[in-house]
Amino acid sequence: MRRSPQHGTRGKAAFENDEVYLEELVPSARHFDVQVIGELNGNLVYLCERDSSVRRRNQKVVERAPAHHLADRARTELYDAMLRLMRSVGYTHAGTAEFLRR
């Protein structure tokens, strides 16, 4: 593979790293957000999931809460995944975890 003279310079300049990562394209995925609050004592609380799959030019156009396309079992799996993620990093403060689901 030939590299252009500017290969990786933008990444290097912005992030001090010129590595490139590829992700699998999931064309029919739904995009869900889960809001979470983490306390210093380790408690985590999730507020609600939102379906933010309706997009135009990669920008959210509509957010729907609760996500009406999500079955109860899938909703539970989403919350469990979010809690595992946040506990694994010792998350505190308020934030949003984002997920793609086929």
Instruction: State the catalytic residues.
Output: 60
Q: Locate 22 and state its tokens.
A: 């590829």
Nearest-CA neighbor of 44 among 100, 74, 76, 89? Answer: 89
Nearest Cα to 91, choosing from 33, 48, 42? 42
Evaluate the CA torsion angle 91, 62, 59, 69 in order and state its sign.
positive
